[in-house]
Amino acid sequence: MLRELITTCVFRDKTRRFPLGVGILGTGSHVPSRVVGNTEVGTLAGVDDEWIRRKTGIRERRYAAEDEATSDLAVAAARRALEDAGADVAELSLVVVATSTPDSPQPPTAAVVAHRLGAPARAAAFDLNAVCSGFVFALDLARRHVAEGGLALVIAAEVYSRVIDPADRRTAVLLGDGAGAAVLGPVPGDRGVLGARLSSYGELAGVVRVEAGGSRVPTSAATIAAGMHHFRMEGRAVVEFVRGRVPPEVERLLADAELAPADVDHVITHQANGHLIRALVEDLGLPAARLHTTVERYGNTGAASSAITLDQARRCSDAQAGAIALLVTFGGGMSVAVALLRL
């Protein structure tokens, strides 16, 4: 039976060794100070606190202040990750920001973040949009880059409060704002990222969407009046996608790493919906795993949710060498991204 931990956990030591040497040196996260409870969002969406808890498991979420943007949250999380890693920003050769809510269409939010952090000009800085799978997409890209030297900073940050329709109960009660970050670099040979699998299903691109504001449907008075700049999601289709597409990817990833489900110590997922997360992890059949969740306090923070949860899991744990962590993310596109870490 899956054992779920929100704030406390104990890592077990493992003896198996792996040849890879790129891993997470430090993590950090940041959420805005404004706490938004279920009554506040539920009133506008036509539902109450009991309905939201029963349907999603969420108690509250955070919203950015009027003068805060995605880059502000990203910078705060990044500084904590660099401090946790004991890394100098001058060592960075890559800065990736995974986001579907950038400060603006141009320039890349990553360029703004890298400048504010004081990263050197040689550090390539760019955005990556795989919606809620973005952190693991960026993590896999960064670990391949780091294999050739240097350090990489991966940040996932979202300000969804700016794109929600307050009257849409399918999305307004779920989404919140936040950021998480990780510094990647060389680690001892028995630790690090053991592997990742990334996949996209463009035929389902309309399941999660913001319809206007791009080159296909430019912003106009008509698109604004029609609410076409709000985040939209087909909830039932998302559930079917996740429970149908994610387990096979995890099975293949474990097989690639020559691991069994019982070898997984910790599970960190995209924090989409509390009930969906628990159903998915039961589907995965991980008898010894401990599930970490932050959805109750922060809601669904998109790409940032798995990064925030990873950071909080590391900070609340006695992180003994050798624990195996499984990252499971899924999002618009539609996409699936899963990774294994030996901590």
Give strand pairing partners of 182.
27, 154
Whether 180 and 75 have beta carbons less than 8 Å apart is answered as: no
Single out the catalytic residue among 30, 145, 230, 270. 270
Partnered with residue 292 across adjacent β-strands are 5, 268
Q: Does residue 316 have an active-site annotation?
A: no
Phi, psi of 71 (to 5 degrees): -65, -35
Catalytic site includes residue 129: no
Q: Any bridge partners for residue 36, and if so which?
A: 61
- Tokens describing residue 140: 């896999």
**Closest by alpha carbon to 148, among 184, 194, 105, 99?**
184
**In angstroms, rounded to a whole number, what is the distance separating the alpha carbons of residues 41 and 62?**
11
Structure tokens at 172: 């307004």
What single string gives the DSSP state of each residue in 93-152? EEEEEE-SS-SSSSS-HHHHHHHHHT--TTSEEEEE--GGGHHHHHHHHHHHHHTTSSEE
Q: Which of 9, 30, 38, 132 is catalytic?
A: 132
What does the DSSP assignment read for 11-36?
A: PPP-----S--EEEEEEEEE--SEEE
Active site residue 270: yes
Catalytically active residues, by annotation: 132, 270, 300
